[in-house]
Chain A
């Protein structure tokens, strides 16, 4: 067997372990995955939507549903590779146990990241289904086409979380991560309104956040509007580059912490 497929086998073993644990907690997980979007969509789509007729050429509900898809995916991945990964690394020491086997650190970390992205995809799918039933998805085909984009972006969200885990000395540390990374994306990435409304300086900050780029791609898709090719490539390329850097940083920090 050559190296790459062998590595994939060991990565899959790590992801399979996450799936086994998740299966035990499936009902609470599904409940939050479905209840959360219903709550949000009710509050924003129904409450706020009554004051807004159309925005960027679509109903407010059609505008906010893709934003919520992105947010729920981002939150899910961020949570998994911070609180979740840190527990496995620091509290239960299962990372230590895993690395005592032929599994390597990069396979372990990538297995964590892949699973976080799978969970994100499930969250996104839940919002999509609820939003579609609610009438907030003009183009179901476009929205389904957006899911692979959400998955790849979630690999990135998972990697950013892993950087926080690599630096954390305790659970308190993640309050910084959530306050200065997750919440800004919730507020500035254009979930609830178009970021053109911000002053130019704030718009620059908004475009630095990877979730802004995700929303910029999946919103036109789910609305059935055309995509600009070169902008789309930028929206995909920038987060991808950030993802690679984040994984490398997390890998090296964790390697130093665990092995040196």
Chain B
């Protein structure tokens, strides 16, 4: 039982009318892992997470959460999931503490359990000094930390985080990263979306890249980098030197310049003339992401 995946999707489809938001994806999330769903806006990440949380019906295919089809998810199973939605959805009129207490009741917890957990969670997210503040008075980073604390009130086994750090300052992000790593160490399973590649690289054991409702590739950050952008990137300004203009290179045209992906720097350095204008850096997940999903702007 302990080895069965927490989430298992097979040929999972979600349609909104004629629009197919998720087009038959397969993926699994294993216990005590952090899995990242990466993709541009409108790729189907949020829809997938909402289906896993039983907030959105499954159109077709199979989605098992804790070994049970989501359509049959009961209260006990629902209580094992904590959701951090993209929009904060806090109660603006009541205090920080009351927001957690109300949520504790929604999870069916006893007064004693709530009284014990609330201060612990406020400390975990460093919100102790704001206990009695109204949500309206909080900064963006504090609100986000409160939403995470709220998702933890039921002591969930699976935590679903939809862009947990979007729009936050570096200090808040570092704190959230640290606490998410701590949760993973405690054996919690995390499913996360983010637009920050450094965040994905730091937190995720495995990354699933999705776009237009389908999976493009998945693997560890290292595997993905190795597979799609090798180890190094050379950004060479146009006009290109003759030796670099032919087709034997793994390269990508980005307009004013050409990107060359190479395994080891000496391969290309020997071909670069002295007067070439270029930038050399280690390849990262952002390169993978842009290469897989394209560079065109998404307007959705």
Contacts and interface: CB of A to CB of B under 8 A. Distances in A.
Interface string A208-248: 00000000000000000000000000000000000000000
B56 interface: yes
Interface in A85-110: 92-94, 96-103
B85 A259 contact: no
A93 B93 contact: no
Contact of A92 (B78, B92, B154): B92
A259 B55 CA distance: 6
A10 interface: yes
B93 A96 contact: no
B89 A259 contact: no
A20 interface: yes
B181 interface: no
B60 to A, nearest CB: 13
A13 B98 contact: no
Contacts of B75: 6, 102
Interface residues of B, number: 28
A9 interface: yes
Contacts of A9: 108
Interface string B88-104: 11111110001000110
Nearest to B103: A101
Contacts of A133: none
A46 interface: no
A39 interface: no
Contacts of A258: 55
B105 A24 contact: no
Most chain B CB inside 10 Å of its own CB: which residue of A16, A93, A102, A259: A102
Given A92-B91, A97-B89, A17 B55 contact: no
Interface residues of A, number: 25
B274 interface: no
A4 interface: no
B108 A259 contact: no
B87 interface: yes
Given A9-B108, A102-B108, A260 B89 contact: no
A260 B93 CA distance: 30
B16 A260 contact: yes
Interface of A: 6, 9-10, 13-14, 16-17, 20-21, 24-25, 92-94, 96-103, 258-260
Interface of B: 16, 53, 55-57, 75, 78-79, 81, 83, 85, 87-94, 98, 102-103, 105-108, 150, 154
Given A17-B105, A24-B94, A94-B89, 11 more contacts: A6-B75, A6-B108, A16-B105, A97-B89, A101-B79, A101-B106, A101-B154, A102-B78, A102-B106, A259-B56, A259-B57
